[in-house]
Structure 1
Amino acid sequence: MSSPRHAIACIAPRIPIAQMRSVFSVAEVERKLAKLPEREHESLRGTYQRMLEKGPQRFQVKPSGLPAMNELYEDLPNFHPVLDDVRRQIALCEDSGDALEITPLLLLGPPGVGKTHFARQLAQLLGTGMGFVSMSSMTAGWILSGASSQWKGARPGKVFEALVDGDYANPVMVVDEIDKAGAEAAYDPLGSLYSLLEHDTAGSFTDEFAEVAVDASQVIWVATANDARGIPDPILNRVNVYEIEAPDFEAARRIALRLYQGLRAQHDWGRRFDEEPSDAVLERMAELAPREMRRAWMTAFGNAKLAQRGTVLCEDLPEAGGKRGPMGFIQ
């Protein structure tokens, strides 16, 4: 057994266990490479050569024991049911040789409640990597599954890249705003998920560019959406669905405090500021969505520094809604 270099000791008291898992067949790649005509399909040739150079073995990580998740429960007070689910599934494999299996998660909720932040924290907790696909900005249906090498400018899909170019066999893969994936007439952008979200069929997922099967059965899927009505039933039937609400006032206040403390600790300039902000400042921050809080704190820190203060005041915070003052010429 060996330990991956990205283990996060500050969250888990013990370094995650890593065993090695093969994510593709070297023999299959060698056969594909040998069949390529010379001086043709250079991009595909480069992909096969890169696969052979790196080899098929990737870290398959899991915590060495049930992690101390108290920090996540504090940081993500509106995600407790999801964290409970993750904790249960970690408990099943903690004292066995089994791999970690987390049922695909769908997080439903309004923008800014921390859905994507949760996915990043989950990857950090497990000590694995993370891939991100934004369905709202997707311009082609093949971004997940790759496009045929016959097409100009074709390239592998995000799943293939995460497994072949990454270090892990079980990365967290985030499909952001899955409800905004509009199906095209010729291609359903969510079509590949039907097999990827099923453990058995994901074990031999074939990217359309490389045409080599990869083992995506260990990928940990987290999808986010504002509304479930735009999501096809075959997807909903394959995931655990959680309604994520905005944190209440007290929870938002705790999130704001932890963000202040985290930003202060992460930067050398943080030592110039008070260990905690005032109650009045925290109450103002609690009115913001979690996604907006970090930007607001950075603005406040900057304004306080310009005023040569080590204390953040309410006047340092941006206006509600991020509004700017009127612009114009001085009369």
Structure 2
Amino acid sequence: MSTAVVKQELAVASFSKVYDLDEVETALNELSEGGSEALRATYEKMLKAGNLRFCVKPNRMPSIDDLVADLPNFQEPLNDIRKQIALCLETEDRLELMPMLLLGDPGIGKTHFAKQLARLLGTSSHYLAMSSLTAGWILSGASSQWRNAKPGKVFDALVNGSYANPVMTVDEIDKATGDAQYDPLGALYALLEHDTAQSFIDEFAEIPINAGNVVWVATANQANTIPEPLLNRMNVYEIAPPDRDGARRIAQSIYDEIRSAHAWGARFPETLGDAPLDALTKASPRAMRRAMLNAFGNARIDNRHEVQARDIEFGSDSRKKPIGF
């Protein structure tokens, strides 16, 4: 049975207040007649939706060993997550995970890890690509006085989502760009500190939001461009490329995942052969996925229901930058 995609775990949920309804109502009543219609609509939506969101945690120790098998180079952060889950099982305590920074080469599975963590915890997943952000308001919102202003990603996840403790992935945090006035990382100084995150103010809504339960996962290729105060707010893990055996397990998991996601996958055997597995170990997990999907198609074009080594093809980038073992 495939373990490539972690099953959504059965979770126990308490409710958490993510904002104060009285404060929203007061802000709505104080909004001038000519005030922002977008802001008025936001306040009305907040009142209609209510302020309670699920704060979930697994009700038993989840299948972390399965995820370690699929992502063998992520054993260190997964072991730390296991410890924190163990502490709060069978109690009313909420799961507390310190923000984590995953350092490593492109394509080795850092973003995939964050998605699987959300499934492991039974919560939602949100993604921010910092390399494409040029202003801090993407995270913290822009003033309603600005044209086309809107709330930031954190506000959106908590107010418009169902969970008080979603997994927020801040991808390529080392590539964030901006100027002193609009620092894309500026909001993170408050959001990564539990105490200040509990009363985080989005610049659009100007209503304190409890973001203290958000699970933060940042990824980067290197740490030398990340401000030291941010590094001090996170557990930093250096994720090495998988060794040969680990790469084979990852390749088999990717094969399982693609095979089980499609009706045509039932025609293919459950296990990928040694020769195609060895061929896939030449690439990063990201390149493996692309090559594996194409390999299924190559096999069918050749009127086969079995992937062979000759079906594994990589683009020019994969040939230029193989991950060695």
> SS in structure 2 opposite 1:255?
helix
> SS in structure 2 opposite 1:19?
strand
Residue 300 of structure 1 aligns with which residue? 295
CA contact (8 A) 1:108 1:224 kept: yes
CA contact (8 A) 2:155 2:209 kept: yes
Map 1:1-331 onto structure 2 (within 5 A): 10=7, 12=9, 15-319=10-314, 321=316
1-structure distance, mates of 2:8, 2:149? 40
CA contact (8 A) 1:64 1:94 kept: yes
Q: TM-score, normalising length from structure 1?
A: 0.92
Number of positions where the alignment pairs a residue of Structure 1 with one of Structure 2: 315
Q: Structure 1 residues 217 and 323 mapped into 2: Cα distance closer, same or farther (>3 Å)?
A: closer
Aligned-residue Cα RMSD (Å) equals 1.6
Q: TM-score, normalising length from structure 2?
A: 0.93
> SS in structure 1 opposite 2:140?
coil
CA contact (8 A) 1:128 1:171 kept: yes
Letter in 1 for 2:7: C
**Cα distance, 1:278 vs. partner?**
1.7
CA contact (8 A) 1:147 1:156 kept: yes
**Cα distance, 1:195 vs. partner?**
1.0
CA contact (8 A) 1:58 1:168 kept: yes
What runs of 5+ residues in structure 2 fail to find an aligned partner? 320-325
Residue 322 of structure 2 aligns with which residue? none
**Cα distance, 1:85 vs. partner?**
0.6
Moved more, 209-218 or 182-191: 182-191
Letter in 1 for 2:58: P
CA contact (8 A) 1:147 1:154 kept: yes
**Cα distance, 1:274 vs. partner?**
2.2
Moved more, 223-232 or 259-268: 259-268
Superposition misfits of 4+ residues, deviation over 6 angstroms:
none
Identity percentage of aligned residues:
55
**Cα distance, 1:322 vs. partner?**
5.6
1-structure distance, mates of 2:155, 2:106? 29
CA contact (8 A) 1:24 1:56 kept: yes
CA contact (8 A) 1:11 1:68 kept: no
What runs of 5+ residues in structure 1 fail to find an aligned partner? 1-7, 325-331
CA contact (8 A) 1:148 1:208 kept: yes
Letter in 2 for 1:10: K
2-structure distance, mates of 1:275, 1:189? 45
**Cα distance, 1:151 vs. partner?**
0.6
Moved more, 228-237 or 181-190: 181-190
Letter in 1 for 2:310: E
